[in-house]
Each structure stands twice: as C-alpha cells, then as structure tokens.
Structure 1
Amino acid sequence: MEPVTTLHRDDSADEKSLNEKGSVSDGSLEAVNYDSGVDVAVGLVTGHADDADIDPQESRRLRIKLDWHLLPLLFVIYTVQFIDKQTLAASYVLGIVKDNHLNTDQWNTLGSAFYIGYLAFEIPQNWALQHFPVGKWMSLNILLWCIFLGLHCVCHSFGGLFILRFLLGASEGCITAGLMLVTSMFYTRTEIGERIGWTFQCNGVGTIISGFISFGAYHIGEKTKPNQWQWLMLISVFLSLIIFVLFILFFPDNPTTAKFLTEEEKLKVVKRVQGNQNGIETKVWKKKQFIEALTDPKTWLLFLFAAVADLQNGLGAQYARVISEFGFTNLQTTLLNIPSGLTQIMGITLGCYLLRLFPNSRIYIGVAFWIPSIIAAFIQLFLPFSNKVGHLVSIYVLNFGGAPAFIMTLSLCASSTSGHTKRLTTNAIFLTGYALGQILCTQFWKAQYAPKFHVPWTITVTTHFVSICILLTIRYVLNTENKRRDRLKAEADAAGKHLPEFDEFGYKVDKAFLDITDRENLAFRYCL
C-alpha cells in the first residue's frame, strides 16, 4: 500500500499543516510542516479521495475537450512567437543590416540580446507565474512583446535594436515556462510529453510562414517606405495582437477556474491528473521548496543539459547568413529555410508517436534523435563546400533531429518535479540554462570563420556528444531513485506498514494536492 498523506487542522495556530512519514522501515513518523498554502484544487477534491476511478471513455472525452480548448491557443502562440523570433534572422536579407549600419559582431550580439533579456527575467517571470493568474500574466506579456516588436521599425542604430531585443526576450520569457506549467495542470505525464511536442511543432510552422512572409516582403521595392524589413516586423505585430486578444478572452488560469468546464468536469480533470503526483497550483511561495530545488542534483543536471544543448542553436539566428554563403541569392534564401520547418515537424511528430508507444522512454528517444543531427554536423564539416545542395540538405536533417531531442527533455523537466514552488524554480533554472546557451551560441559565427564555419560546426558536434552523456546521467540518477523507492514500498508492504490517514472534518485529501515535493512524496516516481 502506498504511503498516504492527508490534511488536518492545527487548532492552536489556526493554520494548515502537512504531515508525511519519510521512513517506512522503522515505523517512525517524520513531520513536514508548512505555515500556509496548499493546492488550489484542494477545495474541489476534498471528500472525493475514495471516489471510483474515472471511466476510460470519460477520460478520453475530457482529454478531447481539453485539447479543443487549449491546444489551438498554444499552437497559435508558439507559431507567432517563433515568427517574431525569426524576424531578426529573416531581416538579414531584407535590409536591416544596411539601414541600421550593423557590422558582423553587432549582428551576432543582437542575436544574443534577446536571450540576455530572457535570462535576466526568467526567475522573475516564474515568480510572477506563481503569484498571478497564469493566463492573464501570459496575455500581458504578449501585449508587451507586440509593443517592443513594433518599435523595431523606428530603430536606426545598433543600440536601439539591442534594447528592444533585450525587452522582447524579457517579455517572451514566460511563454515556455507557462506552457510547461499549464500542460502539467491539465494533462497526464504521457499527454504532457505529446502536447509539448505538438506545440513545439509550431516552431516549424512558424519557420514555414516566416519564409513566405519574408518572400513577400522581399518583393516590396527596396526604396519604399516602410522598408522591406519593417514590413516584416509590422506583419508580425499584427499577428501577435490577434493572439493577445484570443488569450485574454479564452486562455484559462488553471482547471478550477476554466470557464469551458462544468463543476463536475473540473473535478474529473483534476482527478485524472492525480497520478502525476504534481498537484495543480499553489499561490504561496515556499522557501523550503525553493532551497530544495537549489540542492536537488537533477535541477543542475537539467540546467547543464539546457546550456550545452542550446550551444548548437546559433544556426537559428544565422540561417539566412549561412544559406546565403552557399551561393544562393537573397530571394532564394528567403524560401530555402522553409524545408527546415517541415523536417522539424516531421521529427517532432515521430518523437511524439514513439513516446506514445514507449511512454517512459523520453531520454532514450532524445538520445536516438541526436544521431541524425550529429551526422548532419559531420556533413557540414567534411563535405566539399562546392556541394551546396548537400550542405543545404544537412541543415534540414539537423532540424529533424535537434528539436525532438530537446522537447523530450523539456517534457521530462515538466513532469519530474512536484511542489509548486520547487517546480517553478526548477523550470526557471532549466530555462536559464537554455537562455545562457542561446546567448553564447550566436557568438561562434564570426566573420573570419565564413563561409565554411568550421569552428561553429565543430562546437555543434561536440555539444551533441556532451548532451547525450548528460541525458544518460540524468536517467541513471532518476532510475536509481525510482528503484530505491520501490524497495521502500516493498519493505512497507511486507511489514504491513503504511502511513496513517488523517482527515479534516472527516474528509480525506489525496497527498498529490497538498503541495509536497517529489523528495518528500515517496509515492512519486520520476519519468525516464
């Protein structure tokens, strides 16, 4: 029998506390106390701990309803966000370098500026996601990025563009963190991985749309006002404003406040994700959970992975420059990155399908997808530079492998931590590593390495191998802990021991909704 932790009231202090027995071998009771703050879903699930499991058909019906209301919004925001990110890279052949008097080093630094802002505001953004309604906070940031992107059009110098790229990164810093948070509120672990993957497919859709928009902008006369690159920015702003309106009207903050769910459906949605052992959401920041996140080895392994893996992503900001170096014209370059979006969609689709077949194999799936990317990087290093078609195809293969490999780890991060403050802290640290890698990766593509860019491609190959080693280390650590917990459970079952059940006013509450961490909750099992 699994350990059970339940809610009771401390009458002397008139506040709620949590108790969990940590040791099952000696029968002692180890208390874990919190001054205040349990999951927002506690009031909804109180008294329903012993309800029958949700029928599979009903669970499927709820999942479909959630998908129809959540996924379209997540899809469009990721599509438009990626278009916004791509505006700088796409503008390389549309006149932004000339109009703003940029040299190569300044151009590379602008690619980093976005992620400097992202890095600087990642922890504050995650703090805000805990303290404010998630949907409303994300909507506010979408509006801010519309403003910052639109102001690009009035810039005529490196300094102005740097500030706006910094602010754009700061405002977009809550989007991925919000995605990780929202999917863990509404979906089971396997569903989280699939839906994060499907949402990230929209980066590929954004790449395709951005290519066509750039192609259209290129056909605007070079001497017209606004300029070609300014038209690209304005179109992106218009699309982003539409997303802002949709989010402010329709995006929920959590299952307990989702307007598209009935009260009965809210309870069932919360119950069907109970097995995640993550809870839903807690609006109280807990210092103990914050410290636990900082002292948890897996937090820093995930940070290290994100930082190293994203050293490979300089191509995302440099693709127009790299493709043009193969000898293609500016007009051809606007279209030739479109297949990168298609291969990215194909890779993520395959990765999500494999995750459905092998639901506890995220890390092995991620490792397998690095292999095509390694082959593509070797092609860039050793294929004769005169074979421009071969080099171009290898860029497409690189996108096929890299995106699903990163997404498997992103879904692992979203599913392998419980305790709301700890989960947000872990997400913030992971995304800080992501931003750090993105800041550094654009700096490798210096003018002296053109046109073959041997140094950046060598770094790309090296970081792929290092990323694989880090992923396998993470799996070893998590799998070892899962086996330890299985042994403890077996000992408890053999001895006939389990945690006592407490209740408040006669109602039991499942411990998944008491906002305890994965370290404290021995029933928690880590995704692999």
Structure 2
Amino acid sequence: MSTEELDHNEKVETTNELQRVASFTKDNIGGDNIITTIDSGDGRVIKVTGDVDEAMELAIDNEGVVLDAEEDKKLLRKIDLYLLPLICLLYAFQFMDKTTLSYAAVMGLRTDFKMTGDQYSWCGSAFYLGYLIFVFPANALIQRFPLAKTTAIFIALWGVILCLHAAAGSYAGFVTLRVLLGILESAVTPAMVLITSAWYKKEEQFLRTAIWFSCNGLGTIIGGGIAYGIADNEANFSITAWKALFIITGVITIVLGAVFYLHIPDIPSKAWFLSEHEKRLVVERIRSNQQGFGNRHFKLYQFKEALGDVNTWLFFLFAVAGMIPNGATTNFGSILLNSDFGYTAKQSLLMNMPGGAVEFVGCILLASFNKFIPHRLAICVFAEVVALASSCMLAFAGPKNVRLAGYYLMNVGPITMISALSLFASNAAGHTKKITTNAVYLIAYCAGNVAGPQTFIAKQAPSYTGGKISFVVCDAFQVLIILAIYLSYYLGNKRKEKKESSAANALKEIENYEFADLTDKENPFFRYSL
C-alpha cells in the first residue's frame, strides 16, 4: 500500500472517529458553530451545527426517558383535548369571516355601495391580494417571534378590521378594508401547519389537519345561521343588517384571539397543561418525524433548497388550480343560489349550510380512512375525482336538483388542500424550508382565489356558465398534478432507499440528530409520507 493511500485511510479513520463522538450539548446550542461536517457521497456537504431545533434542549436530557404505548395514547388524548377544540373554533370563524361577504351581498351590501359590473368580484379578490402581499412577511414573523402569541395578535386585529367593515363610507374604503383583512389572516394557516407538525406524529397529522380544516364547513353552517337570524330580524336593528353581521362576527373573532393568546402554548416545552415529564415524552413521541418544534432563525440555504425543490412548484400549480373554484364559491355561493337556483335572499343564506355539512363530515370521514389506506395521496386522488364529477354535474346537468347536488358535493374538494397542508407538516423538513414551502403554496392559494371571482362575469348572470366550466377545467388539472406529486414523493423515497451513503452511518452516530434542523434532502434517514 502506498504512503498516499495510508495517509488517506488515516484521515478517513480520524474523520469517522470525530463523527462518532460528535454530539450536541447545551453549551453549543443556538449558535452556528459546526458540530461536524459530513460528506453525503453525492457531491453535497452536510454541516451539522448548533443552530438546532427548539426541541433539542429537552432531547439532550432525555436519556433514559421511555415512552410506552399506554402513555403515548394517554398523552395524545391530552394534546387533542387541549389543542384541537380551540384550533377548530378558530378555523370555523376564519372561514365564516370570509363567507360573510357572500352573505352580505344578498343582504343589501351591493345596493348600498351601488356596485356595478365586476365591482363586487373585486371585493372578493381584494382580500386575497392583501393575503398575497403579506404571506411571506407573515411567515417570517411567526418564525421569528413566539408562534401562538404572534398568531393571536393577528387574529384579534383581523376581528377589529372586520368590525370596521360596518363603518366603511365608500366602495374604495370597503375594498381597502378587504385588503387589510387578507393581510391579517395570512398568518393563520401557516401557523396551524407549524403547530400540527410540532405536536403530532407524521401518521397523525393528516387526520388532525382534516379535523381543524374541515371546520371551514362548520363556519359555513354557523355563519349561515347567524346571517339568516340577522336578516330575519332586520327590523329590530338600528343599523343595516349586513353591517350588524360584520360587527357580530368581528367581536366574536376578537374574543377568540384573546382566548388563543392565553390558552395555546408557543411550543410543547412551554405547555402549561403538561408536566415536566410529559414535555419530555412529547419530544420522544415526535422523534420519528425527524423534525422538532421549530427554529427561529432564517437559514438562507434552506430557503434556496425549498425554491429548488420540484415538489414546491408542483404544489404551487396544485394550489392555483384548486383555489380558483374556492375563490368563486366563497364569494358567489349565495348569489348563485339566489340568481341561478331561484331561492330568495333569505333562503340562499340557509341553503349554503348543507354544503358546510358535506365539507365538515365528508373531509373528516375521508381522512379517517388513512388508518386503512396509509397513502393520504390515494385518498386525495379519490376525493378530487369526486369533486370533478360534482363540478360536471353543476356545469352541465339540466335538472335543478342534480345541479344542486353537484354544488354540495364539490365540498369534498377541500380534502386536497388538507392533504397538501399535512404533507408540508410531514415532508418539508428544516424549519425555514417548511415556512418557505408553506408561503409559496399560499401565494398560489391567493393567486387562485384572486382569479376565482373573476370567472363569474356579470354579463353571464344569472347562470354564470363560464365560472362553472372553469371549475371542471381546474378539477381535471388538479387530478393530474396530484398524481405527479404522488410519483415525485414515491421516487424520492426509492432514491433514498437505494443509495446507502456514508452520510447515513456518520449521522446515525450523532445523538439526537433528529432535532438538528436538517432538511429532508440533507437527512438520509428521512422518508416522505405518501
């Protein structure tokens, strides 16, 4: 053996030894000091630093902590009890606040502001323009500052803006308030994704996301009931019915923001309802996620990785296609029931409620099948095919009852967005990468929702045929994109399983590497949920 080969072997042995003894301590947490450098074997260098996940501090002291099956079930029940009800209520009222505009439209809003042409459509689009403007800053804020507290402030402020809708003196002022409302609601969905990923195992995230997201349907039911009650008792109010609607929903939202601030912990290690031992158990139960609670520092390389990931852009296309129908029905649902189906203004407020029930029950029911069908994307494909068939019924069927059934059954479509959000929680590892992927998706979400109301052209009233056909086109495109995402994740796992790199062995020697804030690309042990 040559001297050159001996020197090389000696360097390799020294490097391997360093990797074996490398570990995290409380002294080196928080900085960007390098714990160890690993050659991934594919031309990429993985730097494991002390700038780790917030779960690491508890993980270091968790030696000897064992989580048995019975404790795990008990802890999961406790987490569900303390987190899910309030998150569900928040999501219900968030969607109720969005659909308030649709209710107000048949309660005199358009008449009072003398809206003509596509002016009402721009009231709907303005909300998502505000959302679009602030989605990246909102994600940056909830990463940099305490998650739950920051989100609660956003919630309370959006309640204030909702109340101020009643004080708008002109169309321009009203549209400005819609933009501000979108800005303030832009933090809510990414915050819920981060909370879900911090508290639940990968295999639990789809159903939990479905539970809180499906409360959009509950919001439709509650909002429709409130709007009908106000419209039916309009004579008893000293102000116009639609103004009372905005004030009532706004006050409810402000109260909800205050409760959220006091009740929801920023991270599990600060949970007031968990004992010290239970906080350590939370760390152990999410260890298999290969992720932790979060990291407050923006990491440029993770941002670049997110933008260079093909899955990020597949989800971008997925969101645009899915949100065009959503933006249209959110703002034109009551109008369509009134003008196309022939229900009175009051009846149309009530006739939106069955759609909410379909979403609430249907999406949770479909997500619960994940226990028997482990691939959530398979469930997503099925739901989108049902949504496509439903939009065809609405657009092309002759009998009114068939078209109405199609209108209601389209409400299983949100399971596709539920799947996307839960996949961000499960599959986008690295905290900066996660919030970036989330933000890019929500930009597309806004773009689709901005475009959605524009598909309902005033001169096509009362049937709005063009808008209905756009639903069919978008649903068909979504089926293809879901299949592409499915294939991408499947092939990604196959590549990871096929390539046994030295990086895997080196990383395995580092204790608590699961909480090192590595991305899904960096971590050779990471596997994508399907």
TM-score by length of 1: 0.91
For 1:413-432, what aligned pairs fall within 5 Å after superposition? Answer: 413-432=424-443
* 8 A Cα contact 2:160 2:251, kept in partner: no
* 8 A Cα contact 2:157 2:254, kept in partner: no
* 8 A Cα contact 1:204 1:341, kept in partner: yes
Tell me by how many angstroms 1:206 deviates: 0.6
Please say if 1:19 is aligned against 2:36.
yes
* C-alpha distance in 2 between matches for 1:310 and 1:100: 27
Which of 139, 149, 161 aligns to 1:148? It is: 161
Tell me by how many angstroms 1:221 deviates: 3.2
2:386 aligned residue: 372
2:522 aligned residue: 520
SS in structure 2 of the partner of residue 144 of structure 1: helix
* 8 A Cα contact 1:20 1:520, kept in partner: no
Instruction: Give the aligned CA root-mean-square deviation in angstroms.
Output: 2.3
Please say if 1:86 is aligned against 2:93.
no
SS in structure 2 of the partner of residue 32 of structure 1: strand
User: What per-residue deviation string (whole Å, max 9, x for no partner) do you get for residues 125-180 of structure 1?
Assistant: 00001100001101110111011001100113211111111111110111100000
SS in structure 1 of the partner of residue 234 of structure 2: coil
Which of 65, 77, 96 aligns to 2:109? It is: 96
Higher normalized contact order (CA 8 Å, seq sep 6+, divided by chain length):
1
* C-alpha distance in 1 between matches for 2:507 and 2:329: 56
2:396 aligned residue: 382
- Percent identity for Structure 1 against Structure 2: 33
1:499 aligned residue: 506
Please say if 1:318 is aligned against 2:318.
no
* 8 A Cα contact 1:185 1:255, kept in partner: yes
User: What per-residue deviation string (whole Å, max 9, x for no partner) do you get for residues 405-453 of structure 1?
Assistant: 2211221122111111111111111111111111111101011222222
Please say if 1:108 is aligned against 2:110.
no
* C-alpha distance in 2 between matches for 1:263 and 1:357: 35
Tell me by how many angstroms 1:24 deviates: 5.9
Tell me by how many angstroms 1:388 deviates: 2.6
403-412 vs 217-226, which moves further: 217-226
Please say if 1:32 is aligned against 2:47.
yes
Partner amino acid for 1:96?
L
1:353 aligned residue: 368
Which of 207, 210, 223 aligns to 1:194? It is: 207
2:11 aligned residue: none
Tell me by how many angstroms 1:350 deviates: 1.7
Partner amino acid for 1:349?
I
Distance 1:500 1:470, change over 3 A: closer
Which of 453, 476, 485 aligns to 2:496? It is: 485
Which of 452, 461, 464 aligns to 1:450? It is: 461
Tell me by how many angstroms 1:397 deviates: 0.9
Partner amino acid for 2:353?
I
* 8 A Cα contact 2:95 2:220, kept in partner: yes
SS in structure 2 of the partner of residue 61 of structure 1: helix
Partner amino acid for 2:352?
N
Tell me by how many angstroms 1:100 deviates: 1.6
Which of 406, 409, 414 aligns to 1:397? It is: 409
Tell me by how many angstroms 1:37 deviates: 2.1
For 1:42-441, what aligned pairs fall within 5 Å after superposition? Answer: 42-48=56-62, 51=64, 53-221=66-234, 224-313=237-326, 314-325=328-339, 326-359=341-374, 361-384=375-398, 387-399=399-411, 401-441=412-452
* C-alpha distance in 2 between matches for 1:146 and 1:500: 47
Distance 1:457 1:57, change over 3 A: same
Partner amino acid for 1:149?
L
* 8 A Cα contact 1:347 1:403, kept in partner: no
Partner amino acid for 1:331?
K
* C-alpha distance in 2 between matches for 1:240 and 1:4: 52
Please say if 1:471 is aligned against 2:482.
yes
User: What per-residue deviation string (whole Å, max 9, x for no partner) do you get for residues 387-410 of structure 1?
Assistant: 3333222211111x2121221122
Distance 1:380 1:262, change over 3 A: same
* C-alpha distance in 1 between matches for 2:44 and 2:484: 33
* C-alpha distance in 2 between matches for 1:15 and 1:67: 35
* C-alpha distance in 1 between matches for 2:365 and 2:96: 23
1:505 aligned residue: none
* 8 A Cα contact 2:160 2:254, kept in partner: no
Tell me by how many angstroms 1:8 deviates: 5.0
* C-alpha distance in 2 between matches for 1:244 and 1:268: 29
Distance 1:474 1:227, change over 3 A: same
* 8 A Cα contact 1:377 1:457, kept in partner: yes
* C-alpha distance in 2 between matches for 1:14 and 1:182: 24
Tell me by how many angstroms 1:245 deviates: 1.9
* C-alpha distance in 2 between matches for 1:403 and 1:239: 25
* 8 A Cα contact 1:5 1:20, kept in partner: no
Ranges in structure 2 where 5+ consecutive residues have no aligned partner: 1-18
User: What per-residue deviation string (whole Å, max 9, x for no partner) do you get for residues 306-360 of structure 1?
Assistant: 111111211121001100111111121111111001111121122221112223x
- Give the aligned length: 508
SS in structure 2 of the partner of residue 499 of structure 1: helix
Tell me by how many angstroms 1:30 deviates: 4.0
SS in structure 2 of the partner of residue 252 of structure 1: coil
Tell me by how many angstroms 1:188 deviates: 0.5
Tell me by how many angstroms 1:263 deviates: 1.3
Tell me by how many angstroms 1:483 deviates: 0.7
321-330 vs 36-45, which moves further: 36-45
Partner amino acid for 1:340?
G
* C-alpha distance in 2 between matches for 1:6 and 1:183: 31
515-524 vs 390-399, which moves further: 390-399
443-452 vs 13-22, which moves further: 13-22
* C-alpha distance in 1 between matches for 2:440 and 2:139: 10
Distance 1:469 1:417, change over 3 A: same
* C-alpha distance in 1 between matches for 2:193 and 2:313: 18
Ranges in structure 1 where 5+ consecutive residues have no aligned partner: 503-507
SS in structure 2 of the partner of residue 521 of structure 1: coil
Distance 1:190 1:104, change over 3 A: farther
* 8 A Cα contact 1:376 1:394, kept in partner: yes
User: What per-residue deviation string (whole Å, max 9, x for no partner) do you get for residues 239-279 of structure 1?
Assistant: 11221121111111011111111111111101101111122
* C-alpha distance in 1 between matches for 2:345 and 2:20: 64
Partner amino acid for 2:430?
G
* 8 A Cα contact 2:152 2:257, kept in partner: yes
* 8 A Cα contact 1:281 1:420, kept in partner: yes
* C-alpha distance in 2 between matches for 1:417 and 1:374: 28
